[in-house]
Amino acid sequence: MNLDIYKERINRFVYKTRDNFDHLIISSPTNIRYLTSIALEPIERLFLLIISTRNEAIYIVAPELEKERVIYKCMELGIEPLIYRDSEDPYLSLANIIESNSILGVENNIPYGIIHKLGKYIELGELRLIDDYINGMRLIKDEYEIKILKEAAKINQEVIKHIIANIHAGITERELANEACVYASSLGVEKCIHPIIQSGPNTSLPHMGSSNRKISSDDVVLIDFTILYNGYVSDITRVVSIGDDTKYRKIFYVVRDAQEKAIDIIRPNIPAYLVDREARGFIEEHGYGEFFIHRTGHGIGLEVHEEPYIHSKSNIALSPGMVFTVEPGIYIPGKFGVRIEDNILVTSDGYVNLVNLPKSLSRSDYLD
């Protein structure tokens, strides 16, 4: 594996942060993966990236059982591995690096236990958040990331087509979701994240997830499928009806047109809230404003929800390399809901929709 991309990332990150912190403690496995390519799921064991501006050194703290997966990349990246055994206290080596009363950079989701235990060995200095620095980098995808995100979207579309082809009266939402995850694995997907297949009145609850409800012949079915492929996310939603779709049409077309109008205004330098306003304004004009109960979209990348968030207060200027979802919805409590979601890449002169699935209530439109 060529680690040049990661060398550049970690150097850029050090350069951006070095004047404001003495030491950075990075505990999010996703951020560590972004900066080093080292992808571990440490569960409760301590796994940290420490960037020490004071010592001009970078360390990875990792348990011995992960040693083989860590040390070669560390050598390549100029990182010093601090490997500990289960019988050892890894905080002892942390306390050797981090001086008392120094300025520490941490993520907002650092487990409190890490700070608490470190505080037993040293006098904790000022804690400052580093999220803006790292999120600011992750926000703009490079060519390598864009290539994977495009592949992920392509594969996810195949999964969604497969699900739609397999919907039939009598199958449960959960059976369909499980089958879809098996199919996704056969296409090389790392994992399915919270697979949402909802039918009938369940579609009115945006993030309910799949249940044991049996799909019946005049149901509307909402498929919101999120996959992780090669570390990156695709998150696509479609709604189809397997029988008479008359009663779903009006709301379906309002959502579809709102989504397409919102996508159409995407270009660099406009504030993200305009995308939300476009979708929301259209839905409000049609009298369904109170039933659009979530933001219009969210960034995707190594995580399912990341910046840029697309809501009414989001002032961030869209820039080439940003990738986010556009997914307005209308949810009529107790009846049904419709959401349509694509994945959009901002380019220098507009956008590319990474998804080219039909947007139709009729399942036959999805079948090859």
Determine the interface stretch with Mn ion among 13-21, 29-37, 203-211, 319-327 (rule: CB under 5 A).
319-327
Q: Work out how close the CB of 44 gets to Mn ion at its nearest, in angstroms, rounded to a whole number.
A: 29
By the rule CB under 5 A, 343 interacts with Mn ion: no
- Residue ranges in 59-118 that form contacts with Mn ion under rule CB under 5 A: none
**Whose Cβ is closer to Mn ion: residue 31's or residue 325's?**
325
Q: How far apart are CA 160 and CA 184, in angstroms?
A: 9
User: For strand 191-199 and strand 220-229, is the pairing parallel, antiparallel, or unpaired?
Assistant: antiparallel
**Whose Cβ is closer to Mn ion: residue 52's or residue 343's?**
343
Which tokens belong to 288? Answer: 């369904």
Q: Work out how close the CB of 30 gets to Mn ion at its nearest, in angstroms, rounded to a whole number.
A: 17
Q: Work out how close the CB of 343 gets to Mn ion at its nearest, in angstroms, rounded to a whole number.
A: 9
**Whose Cβ is closer to Mn ion: residue 10's or residue 310's?**
310
Cβ-proximal residues to 17 (8 Å cutoff; 6+ apart), any chain? 24, 51, 53, 105, 130, 133
Closest-CB residue for Mn ion?
235
Q: Work out how close the CB of 120 gets to Mn ion at its nearest, in angstroms, rounded to a whole number.
A: 41
Q: Which of 22, 235, 303, 306 binds Mn ion (CB under 5 A)?
A: 235
**Whose Cβ is closer to Mn ion: residue 102's or residue 325's?**
325
- Residue ranges in 285-304 that form contacts with Mn ion under rule CB under 5 A: none
Quote the distance between the C-alpha of residue 293 and its chain's center. 20
By the rule CB under 5 A, 259 interacts with Mn ion: no
By the rule CB under 5 A, 325 interacts with Mn ion: yes
Q: How far apart are CA 8 and CA 74, in angstroms?
A: 14
Quote the distance between the C-alpha of residue 153 and its chain's center. 13
Quote the distance between the C-alpha of residue 135 and its chain's center. 12
Local structure of 132: helix, strand or coil: helix
φ, ψ of residue 57 in degrees (nearest 5): -145, 155
Instruction: Give contact residues for Mn ion (rule: CB under 5 A).
Output: 235, 325
